[in-house]
Amino acid sequence: MRDVKQRLNPKAFKQSSKSDELSGDIRVISEEIQSYKQRVTSSIIEIGKRLKHVKENDLTRGRWLEWLASLQIEARQAQRFMQAFEQFGNTSASTHLESGKIIEMLTLPPEVDRAEFIAKKHTVPSTGEEKAVAEMTTRELREVVKERRKAAGLVRDKAPSHPKQDSKRESTTIGSGTDYADEIQEFIEAAKRLHPDIKWAVFNCRVTIRQAILISTLPDHQQKVLGEIIMRAYEKFDVRFYHIFRAISKSYKIETIEQAMRLLEKLASNVFIIGSVVSTARMETSILEMMADDSTTEQTFREQLDEFRSRVEEATSNWRKHYEEEAGRFRNMFGSLTQNPRSDNPYKVLGLPEGSPFEEVTARYRSLMQVVHPDKGGSDYLFQSVKAAYDEIRAANKMAV
């Protein structure tokens, strides 16, 4: 086959053979790799430009997430691509940088001029060296960006963490020699900075000691917001505490956070209905990731929540429509059941001729349960009637056997 291709197009074969050969010079290889990395950066910006165009003009007709899924692009990834275009699309200085550095610079304070930041030299905190962005490693750039965010008041120092106790120590009872003196002292200091609502939450076991210590690092007005969230007693608060904490530390309004929590609860309570149409797990993951992501603005988060809520409402509406159609079909087939479900004749309840084979009774019972079961949106009254009728026939069948 190789010989045939060579005879048919010897010129192209000769060119492709040469292109497959790699240089033995490490400097040449390094330059080639850098060139390919730059192409990735250009691609990200161009993809972001097109994603932004599609979203702003609603070219997907409300099917934004489905369209992204068809491209195998996550919502969070798409958001970063669009941010890359918005922040660096008009900055020619960014085209020679690798994509990882572009992503790191997305969280720079809004007032920082991107072109100027790329051109200037900065002090790397860990080494004290003066370097331009192009000369830094990705880790060094992350340090510099973090310092800029701290200077702008966007980052607060984390509360000291404690190593997790092993299972043996966790099970130790009070008075057996366990020493929590350091943690108690730390909490005593943290309590001086806690808002009264948070102190109440600690006293009433709504938050843990470690959570309270972390909350104490927030300004008083943000602690008050978190206290109001705690008072609402949302489901899975403890599991979602970190994400709520991160959202509040980014100065999200309480209305935005409550909107997110209500949507999360709706996804959990209607998982059977909504989950049959859309991925509830993917929605929940996206919501929590955006709450904890420094680069997600409140406006972007609210827009995403609105889109999710719209999809949930559409899914619920479609399911209800489907259920009504099935219920109508059911009434047409088994009118006697809906008109008089508690008939004295169990066969009549199931819509079968009296004395029908037990195998036919079982098949009819299973098909009815797909419609009348409460978990499937049916009626508890009809469910109990069908079950009672089936149990009566089954008992009689056992006695006959």
Using alpha carbons, list the distances in angstroms from residue 366 to 246, 355, 386, 395: 48, 18, 10, 17
Write the pLDDT tens digit of every residue in 261-302. 988 887 776 654 554 445 677 888 889 989 988 888 899 999
Q: Which residues contact 233 (CB under 8 A, 6 or more apart)?
A: 206
| Backbone CA torsion sign across 243, 245, 247, 249 | negative
Query: Which single residue is written with the structure tokens 């309840």?
Result: 349
What rounded mean pLDDT belongs to the chain?
77
Greater pLDDT, 82 or 343: 82
Give strand pairing partners of 121: 132
DSSP secondary structure code for residue 293 in this structure: -
- pLDDT higher than 80, residue 120: yes
Q: Is 147 left (phi over 0), alpha (psi -120 to 50) or beta?
A: alpha
Return the percentage of the chain with pLDDT > 70, whole number: 76
Write the pLDDT tens digit of every residue in 166-207. 434 344 343 444 456 777 888 888 888 999 988 888 888 888
Using alpha carbons, list the distances in angstroms from residue 84 to 148, 189, 295, 297, 365: 18, 42, 11, 14, 58
Measured in whole angstroms, how far is the alpha carbon of residue 258 from the centre of its chain? 16
Using alpha carbons, list the distances in angstroms from residue 193 to 231, 282, 352: 19, 37, 72
- Average pLDDT in the 90-101 region? 73
Helix or strand (DSSP H, E) at 132: strand 130-132
In contact, 267 and 280? CB cutoff 8 Å: yes
Write the pLDDT tens digit of every residue in 225-271. 998 888 887 778 888 899 999 999 999 999 999 999 988 887 776 65
- DSSP tally for the chain: helices H, then strands E: 22, 2
* Res. 134 pLDDT band, cuts 50 70 90: confident
- pLDDT higher than 50, residue 370: yes
Query: Which single residue is written with the structure tokens 């969230």?
Result: 229
Total Cβ atoms within 10 A of residue 96: 15
Using alpha carbons, list the distances in angstroms from residue 161 to 157, 158, 208, 222: 11, 8, 14, 21
- pLDDT higher than 80, residue 14: no
Q: Tell me, letter by letter, the H, E, C secondary structure of 109-128.
A: CCCCCHHHHHHCEEECCCCC
Write the pLDDT tens digit of every residue in 318-336. 777 766 676 666 656 555 4
Total Cβ atoms within 10 A of residue 93: 15
Using alpha carbons, list the distances in angstroms from residue 65 to 60, 274, 286, 308: 9, 15, 11, 9
